[in-house]
Amino acid sequence: MTTNWEEVKVPLTISIWIFIACLGKIAFNYYKPVAEMFPDSALLILVGLVIGIFLNAVNADRSYNMPARQFFDNVGACVAFALFNTGFNIAAIGISLWAISLTGIFSVEVKFLDLMLFGSIIADVDPVAVIVIFEDMHVHDLLYISVFGESVLNDGISVVIYNMLQVFVEIGGSNIIARDYIFGLISFFTIALGGIAVGLLLAYLCAFLTKYTKNVPILNPVMVFLLPFCAYWVAELLGFSSILAIVFCGVTLRPYIRDNVTKDAFKAIHHFTK
């Protein structure tokens, strides 16, 4: 008997990963002492880490519950936190490493733009465990959504800045002129707003289609998961921010989906995305 591992390894790996995470969540909540000491998310991260190490060892390929009302009510604060905090982190990391490089501690010559590019890779942080603790403590909505919204958006911001810095690296620090910085700033907003536009377009398309699926309700969950997924890849295809596309597609969909799909379907979608 022969096996076709190459054909099935990516979807099967993802399925097994999710299944093991489900088993881990069941076990953590069943064994109360552990559940009281650590948040579920922290333990699940450890499970993911162990699985990731295993997959890396066997050379396997690498393979959203959003409180929309609070998010849109405080979207300005979330965007400000994501933009300025991520930008500050990138600048702080890049400039600090550049200052260290001037001491000669690095064995090779490192360029300033390369260090800024590195900073854009590691600058954004996802406070998963903090968010879970906030949920358990029922903290004020503004505090919760500020941290939650920033953690969702900072990925998109960092990717946009990374792409902009990557172009600067290709041009070369000595060859950059004032016009390049202006074009870089324009491209930053183009990539970000383009991703948001793609997400909104696909969200409204999904809202329109689910409005006419009363006779075929089985299609509702399919549309809800398929079109945000398509928003991600369409934005990626067009060179826009795919992360911002799928985030804004998801948060825009929520109020429409609540009215367009059945109660049971909405509950299932809610639990799956959460």
Tell whether the model's pLDDT for residue 134 goes beyond 50: yes
User: Is 40's pLDDT higher than 70?
Assistant: no
Per-residue pLDDT of 20-30, as tens digits, reads: 777 777 777 77
Cα 245 from chain centroid (whole Å): 10
pLDDT higher than threshold 90 for residue 160: no
Tokens 């289609």 locate to 209
The encoded tokens of residue 43 equal 């333990």
Q: Which residue has the tokens 């600048």?
A: 91
Query: What is the per-residue pLDDT for 201?
Result: 93
Which residues 6+ apart lie within 8 Å of 253 measured at CB? 203, 206, 207, 224, 227, 228
What percentage of the chain has pLDDT greater than the value 90?
2
Rounded Cα distance between 163 and 165, Å, is 6
The amino acid that residue 234 corresponds to is V
Predicted confidence (pLDDT) at residue 258 exceeds the cutoff of 90: no
State whether the Cα torsion 44-49-50-52 is positive or negative: positive
pLDDT value for 81? 75
* Mean pLDDT for all residues in the chain: 77
Q: What angle do CA 132, 242, 224 make, to 5 degrees?
A: 70
**Res 19: pLDDT:** 80
- Binned at pLDDT 50, 70 and 90, residue 62 comes out as very low
Q: What tokens appear for 22 in the block?
A: 């489900």
